[in-house]
Structure 1
Amino acid sequence: MLTPADGAPVVVPAKEESWLPLALDFGPLLIFFVTFKLVGMIAGTAAFMVAIAAAVLTSKIKLGKVSPMLWLSAVLVLFFGSLTIYFHDQRFIQIKPTIIYAFFAVMLLGGWLRGRPLLKYLLGAAYKGLSEEGWLKLSRNWGFFFTFMAIANEGMRASLSFDSWLSVKVWGVTIVSILFAAANVPMLLRHGLDVGEPKAQ
């Protein structure tokens, strides 16, 4: 499965080598988490910035492209990471997920209301055979999910310590995203999702 660091839609990979996008999306956040625990917030933020830049470069070289989600995450990490280090204020790095979630929520729900399933342009290769209605419902569902996540991140940012917030961000968001993606599978199957034929032995 692909579990982007900022809760972007989870997809079932078509090929075994798609562990690389998983590493590129989740790796920088894991590096941030470990470095923060061992050294501190400023060092963790700096490591996060270096790791996300390396992920973009690796994606371009190994995959020949950089996903829009990774681009957006990288730009925001570098921008808010720089502010975090300059002002020694962790709130800048904490607000980054809210901006990403809100951006995806507005884009997906706006597209859904106009009858344009924007997720189709991002995940079309992963969800083969899915009908237009299925794409619209999937975009709508993830749009509402991101709305909830944006609100939840602001609530956690206001009520939790940075250490607790980061633990929830790294592990909780991943688990919730996977569970939400799994909950959508029955709907996807009803709308023509091609799960592929088993290989002959």
Structure 2
Amino acid sequence: MKFLFDFFPILLFFGAYHLEGIYVATAVAMVASVVQIAAGWLMWRKVERMHWVSAGLIVVFGGMTLILHNPLFIMWKPTILNWLFALVFLGSAFIGKKPLVQRMMEHIIQVPRAIWHRVNWAWVGFFVLSGVANILVAYQFSEEFWVNFKLFGLMGMTFVFMILQGLYLGLYAERPAEVEAETGPPDRDERP
């Protein structure tokens, strides 16, 4: 269910595009993003930052698409979003004690610190590449091809990358005693 909730605006954009075209699809995605935030708040009493950022970008770029009647603005949205994510992951390599990917996943799996840094850098590269791929497709192919790429291509790339990341992390997964020997006992304010 969480998966469908996260991709709710993209799925509605895709469906609306094939029924009514880019401008209706853009308006539908804008409304869906606002509904996603409201529903997240009503169901869980919180809204993920990713949803706020994505909704902000879709309202800005979607609004420019509708006002200026130019679909290139909405086509730039995935590139800008991916590049923002790349910047956040890049910044986390230098700010704070742990890279972002470690903060997000260490409750699931424990690997050596160097591996977390490698995976974090891999995410930076992936987000940069995804942004470049999106904009190349937007400028080199038809609008319909771009819409299909946005749903199937970018999502497919993400799933493949996540599977590869999981396999890579699995190679270095440590037993709890190995982790404690490397990092020391957990801080008192950290939950086990």
What's the TM-score, normalizing by structure 1?
Answer: 0.78
After superposition, give the CA deviation of every residue in 1:120-159 in whole Å (9 maximum; x if it has no partner).
34x2476343443333222111111011111111211110
Matched, 1:75 2:56: yes
- How far apart are residue 43 of structure 1 and its match? 1.0
Matched, 1:138 2:133: no
Matched, 1:108 2:89: yes
Output the amino acid matched with 1:145: F
User: In 1, distance between residues paired with 2:174 and 2:159?
Assistant: 18
Aligned equivalent of 2:100: 118
Q: Rate the CA distance shift 1:55–1:131 in 2: closer, same or farther, 3 A.
A: farther
Aligned equivalent of 2:30: 49
Matched, 1:147 2:144: no
Q: Rate the CA distance shift 1:178–1:84 in 2: closer, same or farther, 3 A.
A: same
Secondary structure of the residue aligned to 1:65 is coil
User: In 2, distance between residues paired with 1:88 and 1:126?
Assistant: 46
Number of residues of Structure 1 aligned to a counterpart in Structure 2: 174
Q: Rate the CA distance shift 1:173–1:187 in 2: closer, same or farther, 3 A.
A: same
What's the TM-score, normalizing by structure 2?
Answer: 0.82
Q: Name which structure has the greater RCO, CA cutoff 8 Å, separation 6+.
A: 1
Q: Rate the CA distance shift 1:75–1:50 in 2: closer, same or farther, 3 A.
A: same
Task: State the structure with more CA Rg.
Answer: 2
Output the aligned Cα RMSD.
2.0
Secondary structure of the residue aligned to 2:70 is coil
Secondary structure of the residue aligned to 2:7 is helix
User: In 2, distance between residues paired with 1:193 and 1:92?
Assistant: 45
User: In 1, distance between residues paired with 2:143 and 2:123?
Assistant: 26
- How far apart are residue 193 of structure 1 and its match? 7.0
- How far apart are residue 66 of structure 1 and its match? 1.3
Contact 2:134 2:154 (8 Å CA) reproduced: no
Output the amino acid matched with 1:138: V
Q: Which runs of 5+ in 1 are unaligned?
A: 1-18, 195-201
Q: Which runs of 5+ in 2 are unaligned?
A: 176-192
Q: Rate the CA distance shift 1:166–1:113 in 2: closer, same or farther, 3 A.
A: same
Q: What is the aligned counterpart of 1:172 among 153, 156, 163?
A: 153
Aligned equivalent of 2:14: 33
After superposition, give the CA deviation of every residue in 1:66-85 in whole Å (9 maximum; x if it has no partner).
11111110100111111111
- How far apart are residue 89 of structure 1 and its match? 0.7
Q: Rate the CA distance shift 1:193–1:151 in 2: closer, same or farther, 3 A.
A: farther
Contact 1:109 1:144 (8 Å CA) reproduced: no
